[in-house]
Structures are given as structure tokens and as C-alpha cells.
A and B are shown apart, each in its own frame.
Chain A
Amino acid sequence: MEKIKQNPIIRKIGINRIVLCGVLLLMYVIFCILSDNFVGMQRIMSALNYAYFLGFLSLGVTFVIATGGIDFSIGPVMFCSALISGYCLTHYGVPLAVSLVISILVGLMFGIFNGYFVAYWTVPPFIISMASMNIAKGLASVFTKTQSVSWPQSADANGWYRNLVKVGGFPVGLVIFLVFAILCSIILNQTKAGRYILSLGSNKEAVRLSGVNVKKWEMLAYIICGILVGIAAIFFVAAYTTVQPGYGDQYNNEAIAGCVMGGTSMAGGLASISGTVIGVFIIALLQEGILALGFTKDYQLIITGIIVIVAVYADVSTRRRKN
């Protein structure tokens, strides 16, 4: 085992990411064996639809968790974005392109809100994101008068946005998602912003005493998260078209689960975008598999809960061993 760990190629990719890929493949095989209708592209495309929006949420929250923070508002904010922009599109005749921008702006707004209070007022992230979760839900309900919003279908005049997910049988969404993941990885690992975000997650006071404006960079992590949540909203409606106000919480846990499973430490300072991507695929495949096996969504909630506990425990125990 030690020998395998020392192998330079394996070291470069990271042993836990290899294990995660193995888990992903294994899960697919198991689902194919247990369910008679799992083989083929249809299930995969369906799982991918789920992976897109969840992936953007998970990428976003990775930045926040890297600072040592947490954001429990991402799911509801995504719904809030989709509802407000969709309502503008369907009821006020706002052009589609503008609606998509509005969606991102709503996410950005919540990112600024969360980040400002966390960084400049030192409100605990847990508290502020719980608050903005409720604000997002309430705001969406008020704006839409508690009506669900249906975005246009593919055949409609304004339906081109659905091409973001798939054109013909080709998963365009996968390409876009991976491009964004690579962008995020570059931001996190190659830029000043990412360096400071990770560093302050590890030891904020040391970074501050190095003469760095830690408040600015901490806030930026929440802003990046907000933008990605706004994009997640677009991919949600592109896949499912209909959004209902008052929901969205369940995606918090799934996005966070994908993130911590991929090796991002809840204590901050350590984050892996590639890990997050694989983690998200596992969660998406899991939900598809559970539905295919005829179980209800509730079982998926239970399993996601367990995954979070196991992943966080693994993180905590490796860190304890290192100390």
C-alpha cells in the first residue's frame, strides 16, 4: 500500500480521487446489475441533468468552505434566482438573455450579502446563511405570489436556453460544467484570490498579520459562490423548466456532501475542485440509481446524510493523525 502511495503518478492525481472514481464506477455497475433498466444513455443523461446544477452549487460552496465558512443558503438562493428571473421572463416580458443575467445577479446579490456580513461584521457564516436562506425563500414567494414558475419548453420561441443542457443527444451541459470547473480550479490554485482564500481558511490571523486585506478576500469567496449559484439556477431550469417557491434546502446538503467527499476540509484551508466534481457525479448517480430501483427520494436524503458524516469524519480523523 505504501508503495502504491509513493508512485509519482498516483501521488499527483491523489489517492482519494482515485478511490472516488472507483466508487463512482462501482456504483454504476451495481445499479446496472440491480436495476434492469439502468443500462444505456437515458439514465446517464438524466443523472447528468442533476449533476449540472448541483455541480455549480458544489463548486460555489467549495470556495466558501475553503475559507473555513459554510453556506446553507445555496439551494434556496438557486430557487430564488430561478423564480425571480423566470417570473420576469414569463410575466413581465423581459427578454430571455436578460432573464438569465437577472438569475446570476440574484445569486451575486446574496453572495455579496452573505460575504459582507461574514467578513466585515464577523457574523458566523452558519447564522448569516441560515438567515439568507429564509430571506431567499420568502423573497421568491413574495415576488411570484407563491406561484410556481414554468420556463419555456424547448419548442417555444424562448426555448433556446435549454440547449445549454443538451443539443440533440450531445450533453452540452457537461462541457460547460467542466469548463467552469477548470476555471474554478485555476482561480483557486493559480491566482492571488485563490491563494489568499485558502490561506485565510487555514490561518486567518497569520495572513492578516502579513498585511493582507483578509476581509476583502473572504468576502470574495462568498461572491464567487453567489455567482455560481446564479448559474446553477439557469442549469436547473434548463433541465427541469418548472420551479416551485419554498423549496431548495435539500440541495444544500447534497452540494456540501459532494464538496467534502471530494476532499475539501470543513475546517478550511484545503480544497479540491476535481474532488468536488467527482463527488457531485457520485451524488447525482446515487439519486438516479435510487429512483431507478424504485425507492423514494427520502432514501436518498438518508444516504446523503450518512455520506456527509462519513466524509467529515474521515477529514477530521486524518487531520488528527497528522497532528
Chain B
Amino acid sequence: MGDIILTMKDIDKSFPGVHALDHVNFEVRRGEVHALMGENGAGKSTLMKVLTGIYTKDSGTITFEGKEVEFHNTREAQDAGIVIVHQELNMLGHLTVAQNIFIGREFKKGIYIDDRRMNEEAKKLFDKLHIDIDPTEIMSNLTVGKQQMCEIAKAISHDAKVIIFDEPSAALTEAEIEELFKIIRDLRKQNLGIVYISHRMDEIKVITDRVTVMRDGCYVGTLITEKCTKDDIINMMVGRVIYEDPKTESAVPKDVPIVLKVENLNAGRMVQNVSFELRKGEILGFSGLMGAGRTETARAIFGADAKTSGDIYVNGKKVEINSPQDAVKCGIGYLSEDRKRFGIVVQKSVAENSTMASLENFVKGIFINKKEEKKIAQKYVESLATKTPSTDQLVVNLSGGNQQKIVIAKWLVRDCDILIFDEPTRGIDVGAKNEIYKLMNRLAEEGKSIIMISSEMTEILRMSDRIVVMCEGKKTGEIDISEASQELIMNMATREIE
């Protein structure tokens, strides 16, 4: 490890209602691979966005190569030598590899683009990285792994001194990860500073020199990778006090009937052989890190996406669910994590949204019985304590928490017995959050069965009777709430991938 190339000191950043970064410290040395770890929402991405000029910091200093700097956009950061390799690739599939690498700064010969020179330069870059890719190949013909290498080559071509990898291995195969590590070691040898963001504990142990852990927007500490264990890191990640009294034992007796049974569900790469059972009146928490395949599992059960195989039983009877229509007929309702896109029709009123899933019950002859519709909508506005001036209000004008209640009302009007809540409190302020929690508990007491997907550990521990943990599309654990702890869940959620 060489001298310090980059120091971020006392970085503070707030968004309305959220203190995203609370005086965070972070440093990178030349020739080191520095892991940045933390749960979902710990502030890793925000910190990197502050560094590369996507967000402006509220206070604190960034020192790069001995000089204090402040970037206003990624371009400025790039020019200074700090580049980020994103998780999602930003490549244009129809262009060649070389054209992608030099996009926006093409070599020209008169008014023509000098493709030959770009190919030569790209070849030189690849040679330097010991990568074997043909610069004239069309980008979309490459595997995801190769595309990522092009992305790295592009970063290097900016004369980078610090490269940030944001979950680079998420979409790669084992062999591709090996190759990626070879390149990263190479870059380390060339004295570059490397920031490596990943959830995969085993990778952290293999490739990084130091680990900085963040939690809830705060800097927790920095460890030398060699000298610490996986448990040390996990303890730092989750060592949070749970102030909202967690459930200590399940409220559901062992002998209540099973309402939903899923067996060996498969749907693409993100859902592999998932099996579980849901009991009547139970809240089943689905925990895991981003991209663990929980939403994909829910969507496959609900018929929103096609599944490749697997059996679903509702109340002991095997059912065929190939579309949301089928699922709704079986009494399953799905509340998406993205309300605006998948939950509500913003240009329609509260009443119209409330009956969206059960309109046939409100049709008299050929006409919609709007009086009846408003009555039922009003009933749920009252029982869910939705804040809206009237049931004629367009939902676009409601706050996030109230929009969520409209989606809940939609499934209650339909009288669904199985409700899948996907991140039910995302983007909802604290007060409304508590209301949603109370509501979920009430629904469970009334005999509704709930699957709750949540990335918030506190939410999982507070609400669930039982917890299913997923990692990389597989179910990696199932625990009763009485045995659950943050450490145990995090351990299951970061299981090493064989």
C-alpha cells in the first residue's frame, strides 16, 4: 500500500427527512483495494455519489492528491481521475467495443470518425489490462462479463487514479469474477486506488486490503481485511439498537392451517427452487439484500412474471397461476415496492383506484354503480385513516403513505386473504410507517395472511412471525422470530456462494 490518494472527511449530506450521511470519513491509498460495506441504505452509494459530483455535500472536505477538490458532475471527477464502474452497464449495444469506449470523444479525421485509430487505441488498452476482446466486435455480442471489462477499460482510458466498483460481480459468473479479480489485482499493482462495493463477504476476504463499514449513514470503522473475520464485519454492519420493540415470539399458533404453499419455484436466475409455507394470520418476513430475488419470487407467485416451474397450493388445493388475473381469483393481492409504476393509476380518483381489482362487484347492468363505489371507498378511507379531502380526489395529489393505503384498500375491497407487501414502507415517513405497521398487525389478527418483503432489518424483526432469508435467488434460511437476530439473518443473507 502506498500513500493516501483520497481522503473524505466529515462528509455530511441530508435529503428532506433523511440524514443520509452523518459526518462520514473514508480514505483510499494508492495500490489498495478498499471495500465499502453496509446494509441496504447504509449510505455507500450516496457517499460515492458525493465523491463523483452527482450529489453536492452539505459539509466536509474531499482531498484528492493533496489538494482539496469539489466536483460538480461526473465529467469533472472523470477528468481529475476518479471514475465509477456502475452495476448497471452503460453501453450502447449496437456500437462496437471501441466506439463505446471512446464515445463522446471520438478520434476524427476531418469530418469522419477515425474508427481505425479508435480500434488501435482500444487494443492498446486491452493489452495493458491483459484482456482478450476484439475492439471491432459489436457490444451486444459480448457476455455481461466482457461488457464489464470494456467498462473498466473505458474507465482506465480516462487516465483514472481511483476506480470505484459498484457491485461489479452481481451479474457475473464464477469464471468471470476470477477474471475480474485478475484485472483488479493488476490495477492494484499499477498503484491505482480501488474502491470495491459488494455484499459478498467471501469476495471481500479474497480481493480487498481494508474494509470500511457504514451503518445508517454513519461511519462505523475501518478494518484490515487480513486481520478480521466475517463475523467482525457483520457485527459492525448490524450493531444497531432496535428501538421499535421487536416481536419476541410468533403470535401464530403452530397448528393453524397453511393457506399458501410454494414448492420449488423457479423463475429465471433470480428465483431458484424457492419453497415455503404461509399460515393463516401469519406475517412472514422475507429478508435479504438488494437483488436477493425476493421481489422476483413475489412476482412469480402472483403471475406478474412467467415462472419456469414450481407448484403453488392455496388452502391445500393446487392452483395454476399464469397471470395476475389467476392470482387475484385465488385471493392473492400484491402491493408492489414501486407504487407509482405498479400500484396506482394516478390520474384516477381514490374511489376508482379502490375498486380497480373488483369492479365487477360494482356494476349494475352495464353501468358502474358509482354511489356504491364511493361508499366502499369511503369505508376504507375511514378504517385505514387515509388522509384525503374526498373519495373524488385524484391519487396523484396524495402523499406516499396515503397512496400506499389506497393500494391496500384496493386489495381489501377485493377481499384478498393472502397479501404480499413488497417494501410496504419504502419512501414513507416515520409516522405513516407506524400506521402501516399497526394496520398490518390488525389485518393479521383478522385472519389475513401476509408476506412482507423488507430490506429494513428493524422492520423484519418488528413485524414478522417467521422469517425467510434469501440470497442470490435462493432461499438460504428460515427462522422463527423467537430465534431470530440481526447477526443470524445477515449471516444467511450473505451466505458464501458455492
Surface stretch bound by B, among A134-142, A149-157, A207-215, A298-306:
A207-215
B352 at the interface (CB under 8 A from A): yes
Complex Cα distance, B368 from A206, in Å, reads: 20
B15 cross-chain contacts in A, Cβ below 8 A: none
Max chain A C-beta neighbours (<10 A), residue from B324, B341, B396, B414? B324
- Inter-chain contact A199/B367, CB cutoff 8 Å: no
Complex Cα distance, B325 from A213, in Å, reads: 7
Complex Cα distance, B368 from A198, in Å, reads: 14
Q: Which single residue of chain A is at the shortest CB-CB distance from B348?
A: A199
- Inter-chain contact A209/B345, CB cutoff 8 Å: no
A202 at the interface (CB under 8 A from B): yes
- Inter-chain contact A210/B328, CB cutoff 8 Å: yes
Max chain B C-beta neighbours (<10 A), residue from A186, A199, A206, A213? A206
Complex Cα distance, B121 from A55, in Å, reads: 62
A322 cross-chain contacts in B, Cβ below 8 A: 396
Max chain A C-beta neighbours (<10 A), residue from B304, B327, B342, B414? B342
B183 at the interface (CB under 8 A from A): no
CB-CB contacts below 8 Å: B335-366 with A: 336, 341-348, 352, 356-357, 359-360, 363, 366
A192 at the interface (CB under 8 A from B): yes
B341 cross-chain contacts in A, Cβ below 8 A: 203, 205-206
A195 at the interface (CB under 8 A from B): yes
B474 cross-chain contacts in A, Cβ below 8 A: none
1/0 per residue, CB under 8 A from A, across B204-237: the answer is 0000000000000000000000000000000000
- Inter-chain contact B345/A202, CB cutoff 8 Å: yes
A96 to chain B, nearest CB (A): 31
- Inter-chain contact B345/A203, CB cutoff 8 Å: yes
B329 at the interface (CB under 8 A from A): yes
- Inter-chain contact B366/A199, CB cutoff 8 Å: no
Complex Cα distance, B360 from A243, in Å, reads: 44
Q: Which single residue of chain B is at the shortest CB-CB distance from A322?
A: B396
B44 at the interface (CB under 8 A from A): no
B410 at the interface (CB under 8 A from A): yes
Complex Cα distance, B413 from A210, in Å, reads: 12
- Inter-chain contact B366/A191, CB cutoff 8 Å: yes
1/0 per residue, CB under 8 A from A, across B365-408: the answer is 01110100000000000000000000000001000000000000
- Inter-chain contact A206/B367, CB cutoff 8 Å: no
A269 at the interface (CB under 8 A from B): yes
Complex Cα distance, B367 from A191, in Å, reads: 5
A318 at the interface (CB under 8 A from B): no
- Inter-chain contact B342/A205, CB cutoff 8 Å: yes
Complex Cα distance, B365 from A186, in Å, reads: 13
Q: Select which of A186, A212, A269, A270 is within 8 A of B325 by beta carbon.
A: A212
A89 to chain B, nearest CB (A): 34
- Inter-chain contact A211/B324, CB cutoff 8 Å: yes
Q: A202-B347, A203-B345, A269-B347 in contact; A210/B367 too (CB < 8 A)?
A: no
Q: A190-B367, A191-B366, A199-B345 in contact; A209/B352 too (CB < 8 A)?
A: no
Q: Select which of A192, A199, A202, A269 is within 8 A of B360 by beta carbon.
A: A192
B347 cross-chain contacts in A, Cβ below 8 A: 198, 202-203, 269-270
- Inter-chain contact A210/B356, CB cutoff 8 Å: yes
B334 at the interface (CB under 8 A from A): yes
B357 cross-chain contacts in A, Cβ below 8 A: 210-212
Q: Select which of A195, A206, A211, A269 is within 8 A of B344 by beta carbon.
A: A206
A201 to chain B, nearest CB (A): 9
- Inter-chain contact B325/A207, CB cutoff 8 Å: no
- Inter-chain contact B329/A191, CB cutoff 8 Å: no
Complex Cα distance, B327 from A206, in Å, reads: 15
Q: Select which of B352, B410, B414 is within 8 A of A195 by beta carbon.
A: B352
Q: Select which of B327, B342, B346 is within 8 A of A211 by beta carbon.
A: B327
A178 to chain B, nearest CB (A): 20
Q: Select which of A192, A210, A213 is within 8 A of B410 by beta carbon.
A: A210
Complex Cα distance, B352 from A199, in Å, reads: 9
29 contacts between A and B (CB under 8 A): A186-B367, A191-B363, A191-B368, A192-B359, A192-B366, A199-B345, A199-B352, A202-B345, A202-B348, A203-B341, A203-B344, A203-B345, A205-B342, A206-B341, A206-B342, A206-B344, A208-B304, A208-B324, A209-B302, A209-B324, A209-B343, A210-B356, A210-B357, A211-B324, A211-B328, A212-B324, A212-B325, A212-B356, A212-B357
Leading 7 A-B pairs by shortest Cβ distance: A211-B328, A210-B357, A210-B356, A202-B347, A203-B345, A269-B347, A211-B324
Chain A residues proximal to chain B, CB less than 8 Å? 186, 190-192, 195-196, 198-199, 202-203, 205-213, 269-270, 322
